C-alpha cells in the first residue's frame, strides 16, 4: 500500500481535465508537494490562479533531460500527459507515437533513475484491440510501463485504463451541449455506437486505487455503465434544450472509431481479479491464483456492461459531472 500523506507527487500533463481534478483531490490527502508538469504555458497560468499552492513546471515528456530534472525528490508519479484526440492522432500518427509511447518510456526511465516509489500511467479503452493511432500508441505505452516490474525494482509501475470521461476536454458531452445551445443540429456518428461513461471523480478514484494497491505490472480498470450516443444525445436535448425541437444529424463513423469499446479483452479477463467496482489485470509474468467466472471468449465491453438509456438515468449522471468543460 502506498501512502499519499507527506509525499512529493508529480503529475505529467497536469493542466488537463484529469490533472486539475486529481491534483485538487490529492491536495486533500496532505501530500508534501504537488508538481504540475506540462508544456502548455497558458493552461498553467490559468491553473495557477485557481491553485497557487502547487508547483508548476514547463516541460515536455519528449524531453528526457527535463524529466530527469523535475523527477528529483519525487515519490509518486501520475503520468497523464498524452495526445488523446483520435482525429488528430490519425492525421499525425508519428506525433502520437512520440508523446504517448516514447514520452512514456522517458517518464519510466526518469522515475527509475530518481528512485520514485510508484508510477501510475493513464491509458484508455482504445488501447484494447486498437484500430487507431492513439489507441496503438497507448497500447505500446501499457506494454512498456507494465513490463518494467519483470525485474526486481524498488519502483512499482502500473496502468489504469478507462473509457469516456464525461465532460473532459474533447469529450462528446461538451460538444453536444454547444450544438444544443446553438439550436442544433446535434451530430451523431452512428446512433447505436456505445461508449463507457465515467465521471472525472470516478477516474480520480481509479488512479488513487491503483496508487495504493499496485504491486507492479497491473492494469486497473474501473467498471462503468455505458450508453448509446443516440440515447446520450436525446438525454442532453431533454436536459439542456429548453423544450426546443433540436435536430439530430447522423454523419457516420470517423476514421479510427469503433462502434463498441472494450475495457478488458478475452485474454486479460482470464487473469483478472474482479471486485464490485474494479478489475485488476495481472501481468502475464506474474499471474496469481484467480478464478475467472466468465466463459472463454468473454470480454468486458461497452455493449455488455450496465446500460443507461433514459433521460432521467443519464441526466442523473450529468448532474454528477457538472460543468467541467466550462471551468477547466
Q: Which residue, chain included where needed, has cell 502520437? A: 96
Q: 207 and 174 in contact (C-beta within 8 Å)?
A: no
Sign of the dihedral through C-alpha 95, 96, 102, 107 = positive
User: Among 13, 14, 9, which residue's Cα sits nearest to residue 28?
Assistant: 9
Measure the CA–CA gap between 191 and 204, rounded to whole angstroms.
Answer: 29
Q: Which of 315, 321, 323, 167 is nearest to 239 (CA)?
A: 315
Q: Would strands 194-198 and 164-165 be described as parallel, antiparallel, or unpaired?
A: parallel
In three-state secondary structure terms, 120 is strand
Separation between Cα atoms, residue 29 and residue 74, nearest integer Å: 16
DSSP track, 44-72: HHHHHHH-TTSEEEE--TT-HHHHHHHTT
What span, in angstroms and rounded, lies between the C-alpha atoms of 227 and 261? 11
In the numeric block, which cell numbers belong to residue 282?
495481472
Please identify which of the residues 32, 42, 84, 126 carries the catalytic annotation: 126
Q: Is 143 a known active-site residue?
A: no
Strand partners for 162: 124
Q: Which residues pair with 300 in a beta bridge?
A: 264
> H or E element: which one contains 227?
strand 226-228
Q: Which residues, other chains included, contact 182 with Cβ-Cβ below 8 Å and sequence gap of 6+?
A: none
Q: Which residue has the cell 486539475?
A: 20
| DSSP calls for 238-279 | HHHSTT----EEE--PPTT--SS-EEE-TTGGGGEEE-SSEE
**Which residues are the active-site residues?**
126
Amino acid at each position: 500500500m502506498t501512502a499519499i500523506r507527506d509525499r512529493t507527487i508529480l503529475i505529467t500533463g497536469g493542466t488537463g481535465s484529469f490533472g486539475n481534478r486529481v491534483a485538487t483531490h490529492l491536495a486533500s490527502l496532505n501530500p508534501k508537494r504537488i508538481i504540475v508538469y506540462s508544456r502548455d504555458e497558458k493552461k498553467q497560468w490559468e491553473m495557477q490562479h485557481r491553485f497557487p499552492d502547487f508547483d508548476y513546471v514547463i516541460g515536455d515528456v519528449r524531453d528526457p533531460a527535463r524529466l530527469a530534472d523535475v523527477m528529483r525528490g519525487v515519490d509518486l508519479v501520475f503520468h497523464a500527459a498524452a495526445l488523446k484526440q483520435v482525429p488528430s492522432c490519425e492525421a499525425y500518427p508519428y506525433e502520437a507515437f512520440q508523446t504517448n509511447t516514447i514520452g512514456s518510456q522517458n517518464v519510466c526511465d526518469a522515475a527509475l533513475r530518481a528512485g520514485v516509489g510508484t508510477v501510475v500511467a493513464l491509458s484508455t479503452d482504445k488501447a484494447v484491440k486498437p484500430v487507431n493511432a492513439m489507441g496503438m500508441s497507448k497500447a505500446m505505452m501499457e506494454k512498456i510501463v507494465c513490463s518494467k516490474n519483470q525485474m526486481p525494482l524498488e519502483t512499482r509501475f502500473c496502468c489504469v485504463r478507462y473509457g469516456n470521461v464525461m465532460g473532459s476536454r474533447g469529450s462528446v458531452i461538451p460538444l453536444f451541449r454547444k450544438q444544443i445551445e446553438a439550436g442544433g443540429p446535434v451530430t451523431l456518428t452512428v446512433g447505436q455506437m456505445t461508449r463507457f461513461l465515467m465521471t472525472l471523480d470516478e477516474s480520480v478514484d481509479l488512479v488513487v486505487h491503483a496508487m495504493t494497491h499496485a504491486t507492479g505490472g497491473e492494469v486497473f480498470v474501473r467498471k462503468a455503465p455505458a450508453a448509446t450516443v443516440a440515447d446520450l444525445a436525446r438525454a442532453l436535448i431533454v436536459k439542456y434544450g429548453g423544450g426546443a425541437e433540436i435536430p439530430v444529424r447522423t454523419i457516420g463513423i470517423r476514421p479510427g472509431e469503433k462502434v463498441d469499446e472494450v475495457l478488458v479483452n478475452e485474454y486479460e479477463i482470464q487473469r483478472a481479479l474482479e471486485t464490485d467496482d474494479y478489475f485488476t489485470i495481472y501481468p502475464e509474468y506474474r499471474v496469481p491464483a484467480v478464478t475467472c467466472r466468465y466463459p472463454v471468449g468473454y470480454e468486458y465491453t461497452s455493449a455488455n456492461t450496465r446500460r443507461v438509456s433514459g433521460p432521467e438515468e443519464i441526466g442523473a449522471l450529468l448532474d454528477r459531472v457538472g460543468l467541467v468543460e466550462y471551468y477547466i
